[in-house]
Every structure is written in structure tokens, then in C-alpha cells.
Structure 1
Amino acid sequence: MDCNNQEEPSSSPETTNNRRTFLKLGAAAMAAPLLLGSRPSAAKGGRDDAAEAAAAAIIPPSPKTTPWQEELPRAWTPIKPVAPDSFAPEPTEAADTSGGECGRAAHPRYVELIQDKPPLYYDMRAKERNDWLFHPDYPPQTIWGFADGKDGPAMIPGPLFVNRYGQPVLCRIYNELPKDHKGFGTPEISTHLHNLHAPSESDGFPGDYWSAHKVGPTFGDPEGKGAPGTFKDHFYPNVCAGYDEVNSDPTLAQYAARDEQGRMIGDSREALGTLWYHDHCLDFTAPNVVLGLAGFYTLYDELDSGDENDANPVALRLPSGDYDYPIALGDRRFDASGLLTFDQFSPEGTLGDKCIVNGKIEPVLRVDARKYRFRLLNSGPARFYALYLVDTNNRVQTFTYIANDGNLLPAPLKNQSSVVLGVAERADIVVDFSKYPIGTELYLVNRYRQDSSRGPKDIKAPGERVLKLIVDRQPARPDYSQVPDKLRELRPLPSVKELAALPVRRWEFARKGGVWTINGRQVDVNNPRAQIRQGQGEIWELVNPSGGWMHPVHIHFEEGRILSKTVDGTSVPVPVHERGRKDVYVLQHDSTIRLFMRFRDFQGKYVMHCHNVIHEDHAMMIRWDIT
């Protein structure tokens, strides 16, 4: 069954485009002093590709920096829950607008999913900070970031969440960004927790942006009648996909993830581990993320328990605690004075020529001589990474690849030498530093060469060194961590016959009229391009008809399984690390990816978009609904 003709008739996205035009023109006057090589906003259907490429080329490179001047902390300190009585007003299923909350939609299935287990409460705030140091050679400067509570400073990345499946979370996010700011970005936010199986009102839908002064066209109830406010409560149930299936199909009970009370909370084969959150404000995701609005969210369960000394025989005992270390990479560009710059008006955006690692340029991380789990994230906005671990003589070192896009693989991939990450892709790897003498220096290098925001061109050694690792001491206690030969089981795909009977939707990612489009159209957050019955399975075909750019495509809420890939019309093997569950699918030049998706447990509005968020901001996104 072909669903391509089931899209709604084209409607005028008047609200969206009016807001887009107003904000971008209004921002232009404020941003001009901070936009190096700034140029007029590209009108819809305006500049051609050659003109955009020529304009992008005039941006000078960032000033040089002396490497290895700052050290990253040896370990992360997670954000801590707050006492329930510290929240005023008390969290409620419906928005408490009288207490200052913005008028969001009510949390669906809230009472059912918290049952007798109250959620953990977190207080996080989007703030401005004026003294962030990307590198000692650059001046202290203004960033936006998330902070731990009222008194915490904005950080890049934001606070690290460490939670467990079966333990619901209520995260109160305050928006304290300045209304009348100068420079790029916009002070409205819509925080997306990528790729939690979360209800629509807490997913960070781009049109649901809000502040104390403004809300987006889709915010609030289904008619978009939300009210501004100083905070928004996000409900993260921390259940696995397949919650309804395991509670209704006795044959799936053996695969059920369970909470401490033994209640089934979804299919354990669908559990994720490495997630991240970032701003998703319509038209301004890229500049807001460039300013710093992103962070990590990790989840554990009985299998991936977060305890390398776990006595439970099913626990994997992967490296844990201080040795479970998230690493976010992102591309940034700085002007001649060393200040962060970004062109939010051009569909080409600004490709960063400096890589920040956890908010720092060319930092050092000191490690113990033992195994580490590194959670690698490409936080964007536009650069791809081909990461290698090398010694001082650029000799490639090996590691074990255990997870892709936050999902543990069925089995570890041993003796790997590289990790390739499109924007928003993640990879968990285990590096054993015990095989190196104390004093050994290693480097994480990027060997992708890329000179435009459209994608990389090739891989070439020796590459750019982005992180220095120094093995400087023996661990204080024995290393009991391991990487077993089996990790997380995959749920079998439907049979060939069952797949052939599923609806098929084709989505073409292309350039049209100077903007990035899907199926020839710009985003309209007010109208769904697909309406899918809850519980339905479908096949989606993602198509890139061009040889001029690449698109890391992200589908919110549900993960998929790649069925096939073609490049230039020829079938190519699916890489081993991509044969598990994924939420980002990198469309290479002239390629098609065919994938299987299920749509379960919640109803509401979600999006699919290119996670090169420059493309997303310039209209390469669609809304789809579960009904």
C-alpha cells in the first residue's frame, strides 16, 4: 500500500512564515555587529546554489588557537533531583497557568504511568552567561546554556541526567533567557529530549516554542491556545517502546522491561542508553544550539545497569561511574576577535572550523589505565566526523564499538578503528587504556574533510586533533568492568510477507527555490503530512536525489530498522553498526534508505527533519501525527 497520496492538500503556512519573517528581520538589525560577513536573508525561492556557496566562502577562518591549554573534568557530576515540596506550584497533569506555567497541553496517560511511583523532580533553567571561555586564546563571551537549578550557571553541555527505566521524571524547565538579546538566536525555547519515547506535549515539538512573552502556533491544546509562562513541566515516563504491546500480548511478556514493583513498562529490547536534549525552536534550532542549549540524558535498566560490579547475572557490567564518560562534539566559527558567530539567515548557515569538545576547543582529558565507556555525540550543527584514536605518531589504535544512536548492538564490534557520525548520531565505544604505559598520550582526530555545510567530501589522514587523552595514573580500585560477547537482543523484523503488506511512504529530501524541502514543500507545523494510526507499522523510504549534499534525517519518538540502502540506484550493504535500531539515518549523495517503523503507545504530533539543523531551520521538516 502506497501512502504517498495520503498527504493533506497544501495549505498556506501563514502563521509559521509570518513569524519566521518577523523574527529574522527583527534579529537582523541586532545581529549585524556579531555576524561576520553577514548577508541578506535568503528569500524563499531567492538565491541560487552558486550564489550561496560564494557567499559562504567569504567568511574568514577562526583565529588560530594553541592546543591543549585546558583540561576537562575527569568525571561528570549528574544533576540531582530536588525535593517535591521545593516545586511551587506543585506539578499537575494539566498546566498550572495561574502558578506561572505556560499553557501546555495536559500530560497524556500521566496518572497511569506514574501509578504508585511518584516521579523524580528536576529543576533546570535556560540561562545566559557572559563569561564562557571556549579557549584561553579567545575572550570570555556570552553563551546560552542549561543550568542546574536557580543558582547553577549555564553550561556547555548542560546538566547530565542519569536515570533508570521505570522511574518517571518530571523536569521543570524555566526559560530565563533575555527577552531583548543582541546577536543571533531567539529567546523562545522548545526542549527536545532526543529520542525518548515521550508523549507529544513533552517531546519538544518545534512549533511549541514558548517564553514568558510568546508562544508558538501549535503550543497548548490541539488548537494551539497555550499561554506564555516562566516555566514548563516536561513529563518523561521512562518507559520502553512497546508498553501497550507487552501489557496486552502474553507472548511478549518474556521480553517485558519491569520496574521495581514488577510492572511491565515496555519491551526491554527497545531500551535506549545514550540520549541527549537540545533546543528545537522553530526556525532557530541551529543558532540556539550553537549558543549552547544542549546536554546529555542517560538511561539504565537491568541489563545495562550502570554498575560494573553488579551481582545480577543478567547485568552486562560495562564500564560505569567515573569511567562512563559522555563526549559531545560540535562545530563552531569565531570572528577575528575570537567571538562566536553564526549566520542564521542563509540556507547554507555557517560551517564551524573549530571543534568544541564538551564546550572547549582542543581540551585535554586525563584518564586512568583501565577501561572507559565513551558516549560520543555529534551535536552539530553541520559538520560530520570520521573519528580515529591515534598515538603521537598518528598510528591508529583500536577500540570496541558497543552502541549506535544510543542503542546497544546485539554483539560488540571488536578491534574497530573509526567511528563515523552524522549530525545527532551517537556511538558508544569502550577503550581499554590499561594496555598503555603511564604517560602515554593519545588523540581523538577527525579525518573527514568538509568545506561546506552540505556535507563532507572525503576522509584523509592525519586529520584534525580535537581531544588529547593522557593516561596518567593507575585506577584506585581494580577494574571489574567487561564487554561481554552478547549485548542487547533485537526484536525480529516482520516476515517478508508481513512487510510487503505494510503501508509505504516516500519522503524526498531536496533543494527547491533556495530552501531545503521534503517532497517539494516547506515545513508547515500546523498541518500533518502523515496521519498514522496508533499501533500501526509502516515502511518509510527516505530519498536524497542530489549529489550535492547529505542529510542526517531524524524521526522523532520512534526508532526504525534499516531494511535496505541504495546509492546511485545500486543496492549496497547496510553497515554492521547500522543493523540495530536507529533514530538518525544519514542520506548520502543520490541514495535511498528503506526502513521499518512502528508507532506506539502515545498519540499526538511529532516531526521528521534533517538534523543538519541549518537545513531544518530553512524548512526541511515535516509534521506527522499518531492518531
Structure 2
Amino acid sequence: PSGLYYNVAGVPATAGTSKGSEPRFHPKMPVQKLNSLWTFDGTLPPKLLMVRYGQPVLMRHYNGLPIDPSANMGFGLHTITTHEHNGHVPAESDGYTNAFFFPGQFYDYRWPIQLAGYDSINTKAEDPRAAFPCSPGETLWTNDLAPGRKTCDNGMIKIRGDWRETMSTHWFHDHMLDFTAQNVYKGNAAMMNYYSALDRANESVNDGVNLRLPSGSALPWGNRDYDVNLMFADKAWDKNGQLWFNPFNTAGFLGDQVLVNWKWKPTLDVRARSYRFRMLNGSVSRYFKMALVREIKGTSGEFQGPVGSGVSYARVPFHLIANDGNIMEHAVPFDGTMDLDADGDKQNHNAILPTLGIAERFDIIVNFSKNGIKPGDKLFFVNLLVHQDGKGPEEPVALADVLSEKYRAIIKQTSKGPKWEDGDPAVGKVLQLNVKAYTGQDLAMDPAAYEPAKPGKAEGLFMIPLKIHRDNAADKALLAQARHRTFTFGRSDGTDEAPWTVKTDGGFGFRMDPRRLNTSTKLASGPTDAGATGFGTLEVWHIKGNDTGWGHPVHVHFEEGIILSRGGKPPPEWEKWARKDVYRVGSEKDGTDNVEIAIQFREFAGTYMEHCHNTQHEDNSMLLRWDVEKPGQVQLMPTPLPSWDGVRYVNSAALPTFRTGDGYGTKAAVTP
């Protein structure tokens, strides 16, 4: 209530936005103190932002944090910068790590919410797949070749751009230089849904464009009855129940409890029909591997419960429909019918998701009226992935061992105080789902109709097709002409104060310096240097890790990439059909020490970032700057240096290979 913007005259909708809010992780836990938890508008969980393609957003972010930087309960910094992960936005609104602002100030972020390719593909806004949903009679300003107000026509307003670039599940979070981990952990993170003609969140609209994903039908768009956002994140608290963090752990901080939407051990009532779950790993350093199971009274289930419990468990199959913010070309079944990663085992992903790295998102469809599920049943999301430290995950625990509690962490009293022993306390059940009766009509699509080809079954329908396919001859020719760059994330040439580095194109391993430009790619008008009109500038980026046992979920701002190979082999099914913005490299079983991606750049120029999204690594140097340059640009973009009194700009410096990369040709050519 004493915050700078709690009651500001002339600022609408800010007075008292957190009045009466008592943020708690559990009803029986204490209220979090003002300096323990910093969230958007002070609410917990933070609000969900819902946006539509074609309707730009101006996000005016007021910094109402304490002026005293030490008023933070020991972690977090009061200067902030907000990144919309992974919006196709101009650089000045991307949340560059060095473009931060101070208490008493605000920053206007301009998020166009436009389809990529809007100045080169479908420029007359004639394709109905490139459109945003609207209400009958609604009139909205639309940015097309003739900008002006357009009236809703058959539930949509068509816009310019490439419909294959449609995005869906995003989030936005703090990106403060050296303090991202602390500020995000402290609550400066919120989820964000993009809605489009393809993903309008009204399952009753059957117009040949709408994918009819589970959602509901009461509203023209944006129904969330059966479309649920789930942010998973590990946290820790002190003996008084206040959020706690160790800022001195540069390897990676782990909490000992898993919160879902900032709630500890929550439950969710669901109806006996299909649901879409948008799952985000919002942790600082922890990876997850989630399984979905149903509890059965008695011992007839595949997995037995704890001795004497009188219960067992069965797997609950589901389909993966989106990876990161992007709906995939095909819906991938996690039901034991496919060997999804070609390792000879169909059961290791039967009702079990792949590793979910920090900042990665998985959208899945679960049907609570199939596979023996009935009203009154209890289902559980179960985390199987063990962390001993922030280096990266160990191998997952067998689902049978977790459900039987053969694997179970317990607290033991030691001479130094209580300590977890015999396991990782974050492994186990993290969310309970209670199935209720449903008397309505489930109008959502059947994801099985969109499955990839598998033995005995032809390839199904497409959701959103990829622009490039690794085994297509014409696409391989384009990739062979593309510029190639290599980024190695590790500890090469690091120091105790700055242990993490990034090597670009085989050069020296540098720590983060916002003035240093590691890489730049040029925008092209007309045919690009890869020979494809409208594609943008196509490049191949090779992302590597060089530390045995360390995991690095690498995030590239601004543009999505298509994984061409993982460890020199074809990617697994959950990546084969996806566009991604986070690329895990590491020693985990379903990861490798390198990935190769096809990525292209168009529309906006300016300064962006690439970094490890283990934000403890990011804050200790594992971050680099890259620019998009306009055609013919020679001079480097200057670097902002903010202060209480304003921002000054200083000259930037660049690596020798920042424009050339490390070559063309055979390195980028991929064999099937």
C-alpha cells in the first residue's frame, strides 16, 4: 500500500490493485511479506495476459518496487526489464537485459502481436488462416496494406503475415542483467496466451480454419473452461514460511517444493471430457519430467501404491499438440503406440512427457472420459526427474518406484539442522485432478486424427505445418546455402566470478558484456541470401554444450527455430514436428550435447539476446548479445547504459566473426 504507484492520480486501474490480497502458497501457510514476493500488480498467481493476433498491446510497466535496494528479504533487485518470451517484437520492446529502469519510472513495451512475414507473405491479408478471432459486429483497428478499422466477418478479421508462424502459449518475465534468476524466482513472471483464427479457444466454431482445441464455447473466443495454464516451479521458504533464495549458488538454485501456479499441493476439479493443459517450467534451475496417472482402489492397476495403502495406479495417455509457444505439425501420442525417440522402448514415454527444461512449454490434450477414467476418480501429475544440484538432472526415477514410495525423500535431523535424505523431495505428486461428471457435449477436436504416420497408419491431418523439413530435398538445398554459426555454452575461459561463458564460432569463451556484439544477421528485402523470397534471412545455428554433466536450456530471443538434428541424429517426434525457442543441450537421456537448428529473421532490426535459461548460469555470464541489422548497415547499434537520471548510449564492439559466422555449405547440410 505504500508503493509508488499504489494510488496515482491519472493512472487508471492501478489504485488498490493488490488491496485485500493475501498471497499465500497454501491456506495454512503465512501471508508473504511485501519484500518477499514481487509480482505483477501484487496478485498471486500473477494475472494471465490474453492477446489476439492483429490487436497490438502497449504494456506500460510501472516500477513500484522499494527505492531501497536492500528492502528485498535478501534477494532480488529493484531495477527491472521485461521480456515477452518469445514475441515477434521490435528490439526496443524485447526486454534487453541492459534496458532496465528504476523505481518511480515506467517503460512502454510495444508488442505488435503480428504474424511474422507480414511485410512479405500474404501482404493483402487474403488468407483466412492468418486472422484474429472476434465477436459479431466488433470493429477493430487492423494493420494491413490499408490500415483502418475493420468489422468482424464470420468470426474473424484477416491480417497480413505467414499463418505458419502462429504462436499460442507464451510468458513474460524479468530479464535484469545479473539478477534475472532472483527477480523471476521472486514472482516477476506471468503467462500469456495468444489467440488466432487457428487457435481461437472456441471449440464450437467449425469453419475449416479453427483447430477446435479444447476450450469451451460460451464466448466468441478465449474460452478457458477446458483450457488451463499450469506454471510449474520449485521454491523454498525459510522457517517463517517466507520465500527464500540463495543468490550465491552459481551452479543453479534448487527449491525443495514444487508449486503449480504458485500453490503448494493444489487440486483441480476437471469434468469428464477433453482438456488442454498449457504447461510451463517457470523454475530457475530445475528440470521436470511429468507423468500422468490415475489412482485405482485395490491392486488391479499397473503400478502399486505404498504398502498397505490399498491403491494402485494406471497410466493416463495424452497427446502433445504444442512445443514451446508453437502448435506442432502433428499431434504426438504419448500412449505407447510409437517409439517416439527411436530408442527401442515404447513404454518410456507412455503417459510420460519428455524432459521439460526451464522456460520450455508443452501443451497437451487429456481426455477424462476415456481410458477407464470416470467421475470420482483422482489423477495426478507426477514429477520423476531427480536433481542433486543445479548442474542438471539425474536419470528419472522409475514411475513404479515413485508411486510405491520406494523412492521417497525424508527429512532427518542432523547436527546442522534438518536435511533431506534418501532422495529429491521435488520428485512425486505435484498436482491432483478430481474428475467430475459432465453432461455437456465435448465439441473439441480429436488429436488422434492429427497424428504422424506410424506402423499400420497413414499420416494424419496437419495442425500448423513447418516451413522447412529436414528430409525435403529442396529444403536441404536451401540449408546448404545458409550461413552457419556455432555457439558453445560451458565454462571455457571462465573465472570464479564469471564461471559461465559462451564461445562463438570456436573463438574465446567470453563472459557477458552488453556492449559486445557476438553475432549479427542482416534483414533482406526480396530474395534472401538463402534464396527464398519471403522467408527472411535463413541461417543454421549449431548450439553445443561442452561440460559433462551440465545442462543448459538455451533460449534464442525473437525467432523460433526448427531442429534439424540432435546429437547428429534425427530429432525425436516431439521435436521433429515443432518450432522451438528453447533448445536443451546436456547429458540427460533425452538430450544431447548439441542441436542444429534452422532459423530465419525478418521484419525487425536491433539488439536481441541468446542465453542459458538456467538463469543462475545466465546471471553469471552465460548470455550473449546478437543484432539484426538492416540491409546495408555498417555502424553497430550503440549500447544503453541506464541510470537514475536517464539513459546514455556508448559504442559497441563486435567479434571478428559477427557477420560472417563460421561458414556456409556442408556443415549446414543435413542428411536424413
Shorter-chain TM-score bucket reads: 0.7 to 0.9
Partner SS for 2:489: strand
Partner SS for 1:327: strand
Aligned to 2:51: 163
The structure with the largest helix share of the pair is: 1
Q: Deviations over 1:599-625 (max 9, x none)?
A: 111011000000011110111000001
Is this contact kept in 2: 1:198–1:235, CA < 8 A? yes
The answer to whether 1:205 aligns with 2:96 is: yes
Alpha-carbon distance in structure 2 between the residues aligned to 1:125 and 1:605: 36
1:489-528 correspondence to structure 2 within 5 Å: 489-493=465-469, 495-511=475-491, 512-514=494-496, 515-519=499-503, 520-528=509-517
Aligned to 1:373: 276
Is this contact kept in 1: 2:334–2:352, CA < 8 A? no
> In the alignment, residue 591 of structure 1 is paired with which amino acid?
D
Partner SS for 1:496: helix
Shift of 1:547: 1.1
> In the alignment, residue 298 of structure 1 is paired with which amino acid?
N
> In the alignment, residue 180 of structure 2 is paired with which amino acid?
T
**1:246 is matched with which residue: 121, 129, 140?**
121
1:564-575 correspondence to structure 2 within 5 Å: 564-566=565-567, 571-575=568-572
1:391-406 correspondence to structure 2 within 5 Å: 391-392=294-295, 393-406=312-325
Alpha-carbon distance in structure 2 between the residues aligned to 1:394 and 1:206: 46
Shift of 1:129: 10
Aligned to 2:186: 291
1:400-479 correspondence to structure 2 within 5 Å: 400-416=319-335, 417-419=351-353, 420-435=355-370, 436-460=373-397, 461=399, 462=402, 463-475=427-439, 477-479=440-442
State the aligned residue count.
483
TM-score (norm. length: structure 1): 0.73
Question: For residues 472 and 374 of structure 1, do their structure 2 counterparts lie closer, same or farther at Cα, with a shift above 3 Å needed?
Answer: same
Greater C-alpha radius of gyration: 2
TM-score (norm. length: structure 2): 0.68
Shift of 1:133: 1.3
Aligned to 1:618: 620
Is this contact kept in 2: 1:186–1:288, CA < 8 A? yes
Question: For residues 367 and 247 of structure 1, do their structure 2 counterparts lie closer, same or farther at Cα, with a shift above 3 Å needed?
Answer: closer
Q: Deviations over 1:285-326 (max 9, x none)?
A: 111111111111111111111111114222111111211100
Alpha-carbon distance in structure 1 between the residues aligned to 2:100 and 2:20: 21
Flag as ranges the 4+ runs of structure 1 deviating above 6 A.
121-130
**1:257 is matched with which residue: 130, 142, 145?**
130
> In the alignment, residue 387 of structure 2 is paired with which amino acid?
Q
Q: Deviations over 1:531-572 (max 9, x none)?
A: 211142211111111212010000000000111121xxxx33
Instruction: Among all aligned residue pairs of Structure 1 and Structure 2, give the percentage whose two residues are the same amino acid.
Output: 38
**1:135 is matched with which residue: 16, 20, 26?**
26
Alpha-carbon distance in structure 1 between the residues aligned to 2:269 and 2:212: 23
Partner SS for 2:517: coil
Question: For residues 585 and 281 of structure 1, do their structure 2 counterparts lie closer, same or farther at Cα, with a shift above 3 Å needed?
Answer: same
Aligned to 2:579: 581
1:23-42 correspondence to structure 2 within 5 Å: none
Alpha-carbon distance in structure 2 between the residues aligned to 1:87 and 1:473: 49
Shift of 1:131: 4.1
Alpha-carbon distance in structure 2 between the residues aligned to 1:255 and 1:586: 35
Shift of 1:466: 0.4
Aligned to 1:336: 239
Question: For residues 548 and 124 of structure 1, do their structure 2 counterparts lie closer, same or farther at Cα, with a shift above 3 Å needed?
Answer: farther
Partner SS for 2:286: coil
Alpha-carbon distance in structure 2 between the residues aligned to 1:472 and 1:563: 43
Aligned to 1:278: 173
Shift of 1:247: 5.4
Alpha-carbon distance in structure 2 between the residues aligned to 1:539 and 1:316: 31
Shift of 1:255: 8.8
The answer to whether 1:480 aligns with 2:480 is: no
CA-atom RMSD, angstroms?
2.6
Is this contact kept in 2: 1:553–1:609, CA < 8 A? yes
Alpha-carbon distance in structure 1 between the residues aligned to 2:163 and 2:19: 39
Alpha-carbon distance in structure 1 between the residues aligned to 2:566 and 2:620: 26
Shift of 1:145: 3.9
Alpha-carbon distance in structure 2 between the residues aligned to 1:257 and 1:548: 43
Shift of 1:336: 3.2
Question: For residues 458 and 319 of structure 1, do their structure 2 counterparts lie closer, same or farther at Cα, with a shift above 3 Å needed?
Answer: same
Alpha-carbon distance in structure 1 between the residues aligned to 2:24 and 2:383: 23
> In the alignment, residue 315 of structure 1 is paired with which amino acid?
N
Alpha-carbon distance in structure 1 between the residues aligned to 2:79 and 2:193: 25
Which consecutive unaligned segments of at least 5 residues does structure 1 have? Answer: 1-85, 90-120, 148-152, 213-228
> In the alignment, residue 577 of structure 1 is paired with which amino acid?
W
Question: For residues 129 and 446 of structure 1, do their structure 2 counterparts lie closer, same or farther at Cα, with a shift above 3 Å needed?
Answer: farther
Is this contact kept in 2: 1:127–1:177, CA < 8 A? no
**1:310 is matched with which residue: 199, 205, 208?**
205
